[in-house]
Chain A
Amino acid sequence: MSDSDNASDLDDGPDGVRAEEEATGGTVEGAAREPDRKAPDEREAITTDEEKDDARQIVTGEARYTADYRDRFPDLAHGKVVRSDIAHGHVESVDTSAAEAMDGVYAVITPFDDVVPDTLYSSSGQSYPEPSPWDLTVLREHVRFVGDPVAAVAAEDPDTADRAARKVEVEYRERDAVFDPEAALDEDAPQLFETDDVENKQSGADYARNLESHFEGELGDVDAAFDAAEAGEGVHVVETEWETPYQSHCVPEPHATIAYTDEDDRHVFITATQVPFHTRRQISHLFDVPIRDVRVTKPRIGAGFGSKQEMAIEPITFALHLAAGRPVKLEMTRQEEFTALRFRHPMRMRMKTAVTEEGDIEAMDLYTLSNSGAYGTHGMTVANNVGTKPLPIYPRVPNVRFSGDVVHTNLPMGAAMRGYGAPQGHFAVESHMDEVARRLGLDPIEFRLRNAVREGDLDRSVAILKDDDRFERTIRSCGIRECVERGKEAIGYDDLDQPDEDHRHRGVGMALIAQGSGVAGKELGAAQVKMNEDGSFHLQVGGVDTGTGADTMFSQIAAEVLGCPPEDVVVVAADTDLTPFDYGAYASSTTYISGRAVKNAAEDAKERLLEWGATLLDEPPEVLDTGDGAVYSEETGNRVSLEEIGYEATYGDDEREHILGDGNHSTDESPPPYGAQFVDVTVNEETGEYDLNKLVFAADCGVAINPALVEGQIEGGEHMSLEYATSGGLSFDGEGNPEVQGFRQYGMPRTTDHPPMETILVETHEPTGPFGAKSIAELPTNGVPPALSNAIRDAVGVRLTELPFTDEDLRAALDARDGDD
């Protein structure tokens, strides 16, 4: 573990030096000495509410999503998956004869077909090799949950495919199943995986105990700190437990893929994915075809939220295509989304702290037990983030331990979901901190601010699970205190009116929030800028717009550098044939990593613009800058338009050049955005019913590029967080059959379920981000559960610890409180 010298190491070491060089534009001497930091009135494009580039296509219905491409393929076949209806067992036989005999059926595939590889892989759209076990096959001979894919059909229309799929007869040899993660750890529990069923095992795996991963890390000496606290006076030890359910992404566009082979014998995927380049690599591995022969394109995508950070259905679609010999489209149904695809991992967490009477935290110990479900995609990494996202809110705590177990059960598989472990972790940590303050008689907000992160802190807890100190980080931007101050004012924290009725009580709760900006040391974004002769640009970027407005954000960053309006930047994105590489849209990386690559590419092109401007204006490039559609001289005020430069560079008599710019970005940095979530609640003490009066979220995401889009991210993230707190969750019967089959059984909040929401943007400047930006997308998914638990505690003195909070839970807690009196 590191010592305090690491603060200066980080600032002055190789990474710090590189960051500084890049931040000043590297090669553009003098033109803009600190182009990253601009006062609001110096910004041309980055902080305007630029119209989302696909807004008009969306509102006219012209935006095309994967399934809308059917009209390009007159011979398109439609796929349908046959899924296991038992929770655990082995496929003994599959009778496909009745299905194959049907008119209009092109192919029926099973795990026993040559066209279906039995290669092990992970569906997680992560870096290579994935930090997830390779435990999947395309179709499953060993089924491990109700919904596992066993066979698939391709037919001339969806109706024929459905009917054929129902005629596929599967015989199983059933085995005992296990549904509880603690029971699954028992040595006598049914075992889901034999050792050689898995490659690329993750740290601490013990498949004899259904253990996908065990991990732990420590700073200082936690046991000694607790021993001292128990022995001495003036230090209090508080321990709490928390439980969270499955949550569905409720992704608007169900997973959809079209796979075909083009006239050049190259395999093409039009697919709803957050990770085109990872998918290309994984398809190549799985089907043993060269990467260069695979093309993955992403059209408009009906959101992802992590559900599409997965190669979830592309392999089955491709196998069907190979078997049918024609293009195949596979679209998931909503029922499949709710029963067979991907979810947020359910968890049980334990948090223990030692705190002095004054409110200094001496030690923190967090443990999580994650139910990974049947397969291990994102199992370990999501559980890691339970600690490594919220614990860094308190970076000065000297003794910290974080450990976890990730366990398989015969239930649907957890995976990436917006927040990625942080929603679970914040529920435990931020509810716990509030409880500590109330038990010690401290103001819950003051207690947390006393311990909370400040600019200049060295955060070691983010790297608590790492073997070395490479990923410890110095906090260079932090607006968490202003978030709290402005949030308090907006919610009316100091001036709360109580209802007139004696049985109704109003309370306010707050949670501090942190996330990251990309995966430190595991990201790469790249972009290219090409100038057109009319002074407009094409921007080719690997980054993936999942509906967030990332393409618009990219155009604004490029425009700010190039000095043109954002609408003069045509964005071509996320096509493995046409655009540079990108890890994809996950881990809140798009603005920070891909956006920074765009900025670097634009700065590279800008260098050439200034050279051409220098020639045409007969002035040195050092006194020139771009702006307002031109290159202009800061000394003489002379200007030459980008269009003049474009034509001269393309068609000039003396010398010609296609003005291009390249940009890459990779980094060990992942600066946290911060936030404060406030919830105002009124509880009916007689019934346990509670009403949310208002939500306030104040966010520090550095400089907010396109504030309207940022607000949209916050409000949508709070929506998911509201669901997690109040109405989400899946249930299963005693045999592992899912009881939630669609929206009617799932508690996704509607317009009428939403309380008023107020969004506050607190600007800071993150020196390593593009124009000072940090991430925003995941941050607001973390806050409502702890803030609501804290608000209810404030209102009526009881603590709810299990999500979602039902009226019955609250009533039971109130009854218990009154029984204790």
Chain B
Amino acid sequence: MQIELEVNGETETFEASKSDSLLDVLRANGYTGAKRGCDTGACGFCTVHVDGDPTLSCVTPVTKAEGASVETIEGLGEQDDLHPVQQAFVDNTALQCGFCIPGMIMRSKALLDENPDPTEQEVREALSDNLCRCTGYKKIVEAVLDAADRMDVDRAVATDGGPPSDGDPPPDTAAGGTLDSGCPPGGCDCSGGEP
């Protein structure tokens, strides 16, 4: 059978069999960022977004996803232009073998989309269905809290329309440069977020 999905904004048609999971179809068509860790919806490695909701693709029949909008890790950011959640995982060394990380990042992004300023406990609860064997979760939780700060900075910049229009370029995320951060307009040498 053929199945139509919108993947990362592009409408695509895939060959599939009725018994295929969404994960089967994604992985067979080059979207291998989502990992197969258990095939029973118990580890979270296969987490993608379906119509905006974090979803375990290994237990989602592809027939149920017909016509849906699917967002995978491949649609998030690129190596030289990472999404703030991805950048925070890199900068906090919140990864080792990496097998759980695409799912962990998709779950984290869903949390931050819904709750831009979570407490540590809220992060831990949101990630409690995503297993990680390497990190002890400590740096992952720190990364998600850090990502929330970074996205908060981004939003502040967007709302303000950036710094005063005196010809300075807009600050990038890492350079801070918002009212919240206490940094001067145009950014400073601090690492952003904390003054």
- List residues of A whose CB falls within 8 A of some B CB: 49, 51-52, 54-65, 67-68, 70-71, 159, 249-254, 300-303, 305, 331, 333-334, 546-549, 708-709, 711-712, 714-720, 742-744, 748, 750-752, 754, 757
Contacts and interface: CB of A to CB of B under 8 A. Distances in A.
Contacts of B57: none
B95 A303 contact: no
Contacts of A301: 97
Q: Which of A56, A67, A748 has the most CB of B within 10 A?
A: A56
Nearest to B79: A56
A708 B19 CA distance: 44
B37 A252 contact: yes
A303 B97 contact: yes
A531 to B, nearest CB: 26
Nearest to B89: A59
Given A60-B73, A547-B98, A719-B136, A750 B131 contact: yes
Interface residues of B, number: 59
Contacts of B131: 250, 252, 743, 748, 750
Contact of B38 (A331, A743, A750, A754): A743
B96 A712 contact: yes
Interface stretch (B39-47, B155-163, B169-177, B178-186): B39-47
Nearest to B38: A334
B32 A68 contact: yes
Given A159-B19, A302-B97, A59 B45 contact: no
Main secondary structure of the interface of B (DSSP, over half): loop
Contacts of A52: 90, 93, 95-96
Given A59-B90, A303-B97, A748-B131, A67 B36 contact: yes
A303 B134 contact: yes
Interface in B55-100: 72-74, 76-79, 82, 86-87, 89-91, 93, 95-100
A548 B134 CA distance: 8
A334 B43 contact: yes
B141 A751 contact: yes
A303 B133 contact: yes
Nearest to B134: A716
B116 to A, nearest CB: 19
Nearest to A548: B96
A246 to B, nearest CB: 16
B187 interface: no
B124 A159 contact: no
Given A59-B86, A303-B134, A712 B77 contact: no
B33 A61 contact: yes
B49 to A, nearest CB: 13
A819 B155 CA distance: 63
A255 to B, nearest CB: 12
B79 A57 contact: yes
A682 to B, nearest CB: 18
Interface string B83-123: 00011011101011111111001000000000000000001
Question: Which of B40, B74, B133: most chain A CB closer than 10 A?
Answer: B133
A717 B136 CA distance: 7
18 contacts: A51-B91, A57-B98, A60-B82, A62-B74, A65-B35, A68-B32, A252-B132, A254-B37, A301-B97, A711-B139, A712-B96, A712-B139, A742-B40, A743-B42, A743-B131, A748-B131, A751-B130, A754-B136
A742 B43 CA distance: 10
B97 A253 contact: yes
Contacts of B123: 751
Interface of B: 17, 19, 27-28, 30-40, 42-43, 45, 72-74, 76-79, 82, 86-87, 89-91, 93, 95-102, 105, 123-125, 127-141
Contact of A716 (B31, B40, B91, B96): B96
B84 to A, nearest CB: 11
B89 A71 contact: no
Given A61-B73, A253-B97, A302-B35, 9 more contacts: A59-B102, A60-B77, A61-B32, A68-B32, A252-B43, A252-B133, A305-B133, A744-B40, A751-B128
Contacts of A757: 136, 138
Given A59-B89, A60-B79, A547 B33 contact: no
A589 B96 CA distance: 18
A808 to B, nearest CB: 24
A159 B19 CA distance: 9
Contacts of A547: 96-99, 134
Contacts of A334: 37-40, 42-43
A159 B39 contact: no
B12 to A, nearest CB: 16
A634 to B, nearest CB: 32
B134 A252 contact: yes
A751 B127 contact: yes
A744 B97 contact: no
B98 A63 contact: yes
B17 A159 contact: yes
B100 A59 contact: no
A56 to B, nearest CB: 4
A331 B73 contact: no
Contact of B74 (A61, A252, A717, A750): A61
A252 B97 contact: yes
B138 A253 contact: no
B148 to A, nearest CB: 16
Contacts of A62: 33, 74, 79
A52 B96 CA distance: 8
B133 A719 contact: yes
Contacts of B77: 59-60
B192 to A, nearest CB: 17
A60 B36 contact: no
A744 B42 contact: yes
Contacts of A750: 127-129, 131, 137
A637 B101 CA distance: 47
Contacts of B72: 61
